[in-house]
Amino acid sequence: MTGEVSPVNRPAEPPAQAELRASHTDRDRVVELLRVAAGDGRLTADELDERLEAALTARTYSELAVLTTDLPETPPSAGLAGQAAGLAGLAQEGAKELVKIDCASGSAKREGQWLVPRRMEVNVASGNVKLDLTQAVISSPTLQLDIDVHSGNLLLVTRPGIVVDTDDVAVRSGNVGVKLHRRRSVPVALRVQVSGRVASGNFKARPPRRTFLQWLLRQPGRYA
């Protein structure tokens, strides 16, 4: 037995790479890859919702890896970081400095993978405007949102990492409300600075609502 080391005194082996804890950045990279795959038609809307929820709650690398095993691999030298960097480069090239929306009567929407500009001017005279940021491509760390709501509704749908500031909004006769996400530890990816006025109408910023099945099963909604 001379020279042998007792198992009790043997140093603990380091954990395998797959079982190491994932960071917010690791989760965000997988989320972006899933969104691109859905945009290419590789994932259905239901599959995207299911995998996004799993990615946002994943704790280890192995839990993230299983979400992309059936998707095309990126070149080894690029990896997920290269995929996200390429998408960010396209956003910088294609995003406009200013986008104006004038809704006199009816409805207007921005949803899906649309490029978020640096500034938006939204005028709602009588109607409904919806700006859905859950899958939007963010091109700048801040969005200046100038609003003028006379009589109607302006809805901003957010995701974790998006902060909405309405301190500069003047309310004459209407409502302004911001509902926070439960997952507040996510790094800030976009700050929406809202200014302007709500004369008679509503401005709301909130996470996506739960589907009827999620409500029935008492499951949290996407990005809850």
pLDDT in tens, 44-75: 888 888 888 888 898 888 899 899 989 886 54
Find the mean pLDDT for residues 118-141.
92
What is d(CA 127, CA 58) in angstroms, rounded to the nearest whole number? 40
Given a cut of 80, whether residue 214 has pLDDT beyond it is no
Q: Could you tell me the pLDDT band of residue 201, with boundaries at 50, 70 and 90?
A: very high
Domain ranges of the chain: 17-92, 95-206
What pLDDT score was predicted for residue 221? 56
Q: Which residues pair with 129 in a beta bridge?
A: 108, 154
Q: How is 19-72 classified by DSSP, letter by letter?
A: GSBPPHHHHHHHHHHHHHHHHTTSS-HHHHHHHHHHHHH--BHHHHHTTSTTSP
For strand 127-132 and strand 152-157, is the pairing parallel, antiparallel, or unpaired?
parallel
Percent of the chain with pLDDT over 70: 73
Higher pLDDT among residues 42 and 194, named by residue: 194
Q: Is residue 213 pLDDT above 80, yes or no?
A: no
pTM to 2 decimal places: 0.58
Q: Is pLDDT above 80 for 93?
A: no
